[in-house]
Structure 1
Amino acid sequence: MTLKETSNHIMSTPRQKRTWQEMSLPANTNLRHVVPDPFPLDVRKLLVAGNRIQRIPEDFFIFYGDLVYLDFRNNSLRSLEEGTFSGSAKLAFLDLSYNNLTQLGAGAFRSAGRLVKLSLANNHLAGVHEAAFETLESLQVLELNDNNLHSLNVAVLAALPALRTLRLDGNPWLCDCDFAHLFSWIQENASKLPKGLDEIQCSLPMENRRIFLHELSEASFNECKFSLSLTDLFIIIFSGVAVSIAAIISSFFLATVVQCFQRCTPNKDSEDEDDDEDD
């Protein structure tokens, strides 16, 4: 494997230690794993685009805690394991575009709290957990364009207070009731989209056509105000079943108490007959 030193600098230190500012790993279609050994531990900018790397080792950033910029474009990354970014306290720019990611779990970027730009464009993302970006309070640029997203929980974006630029175009958005809250958020934050509502399309339910978001309005989702989500239906059904069971148990308990009371209480007619016999 050949490493290319693209723009390193020699910095004067008491021990004359050489500091590598940037390292580039040439494209190699046979490389499927990235290991810590080849790179200087104090590298700050690492370019490994254009390979077939399938995973980032869990201890990668423990070795490279000085990394500020990581270009991981055009690889074969399939998932982000929990703890992948442990030790990445200085990482500010992360490019994971053109990989094979399909899901982002809760806390996928935990410990990467200094990220300023994150590109996840041109993957196969179909789901993003609402807590996927929960620690990225410094993130200003987020690229989710050209994925396979049909909907997105607004909580995902609400967790990014510093967000300035957002790419959502190129996804097969579905303009149903699940999309209504995201549409409201997009309307209120249209300035964060490079082309506003003109760059995003969605498919209308029951219709075989796509429209741009600027053709929609809040009135387009009026029927959603009176519709119930699947979660709401489950809650209603569960509540009804629970109430029915409670009513049955209460009735059974009450009937048992009444029966016991009747058995334990002397019969008045029997007492009267006994009194007559005594007379």
Structure 2
Amino acid sequence: MNTSYYISLITAIFIGGAAGYVGSLMATKKMSLVGDVLSHIALPGIGLGLLYGVNISLGALASLVLGIMLIWILSLKTELSMESLVGVVFVLSLAIGFLITPEEELLHALFGNISAVAMPDAVAAVFISVIVFVSARIIYSKMMLAYVSEDLALASGVKINKYNLIYLFLIAAVVAFGIKVGGTLLTSAMIIVPAAAARNVSRNMRQYSWLSVVIGIASVIAGFAVFPFLAARFGLSAVAIGPVIILASIVFFAVSLLFKNK
């Protein structure tokens, strides 16, 4: 195994852990579909990055930030739910993304290619993952209070809209730097599935949040461990590492159902 393999593995581990932790909040707030949609909002930025030779993670992040700001502005101007507004921006982004993304690069945009991660990208992804994790830790209790009772949160001085916006930006950061692992189609699964598996077997919120991290990391390690055998057996390319990681997380979810708390 060469150096690039370990660079890819370490990068994916950090992204998987951060995604799992952020996902534990998303599942609690019943925003899983929002996470799925946000990953697709990154597509126009990826397309522009590929066209003009810009780092696709930066392109994706710019696209996500613009998308989130558009959603936020619309939420202030209309009475529509956040899910409805995200859906509108989603279809707009998807249409633009497919129009501008080079056809030959579309597969990588949709499914990622973690094996192509260079050292500067890896360092940036690890740094962002740590920032996301620490930031999520800081706002976690306030977000949980808002989930339990928005009235109680407001009475306690929690600015719900502000923290929701911060949380959306944290999701955007995970998605932007997770694009190379799972592409736009699978990145959301890295956020959603480990948290869902952890929720099945957790007895309290602390256990739930940390198990989400553990399962996210374990899914990455399992995916990397199994991939060489699947690649040799079925002739898979490096693009398939992302889907294999997601399949590993699904296996963890299936196992969690056997031990689900009643």
TM-score, with normalisation over the residues of structure 2? 0.20
| Structure with greater proportional helix content | 2
> Which of structures 1 and 2 has the bigger CA Rg?
1
More RCO (CA 8 Å, sep 6+): 2
| Structure with greater proportional strand content | 1
TM-score, with normalisation over the residues of structure 1? 0.20
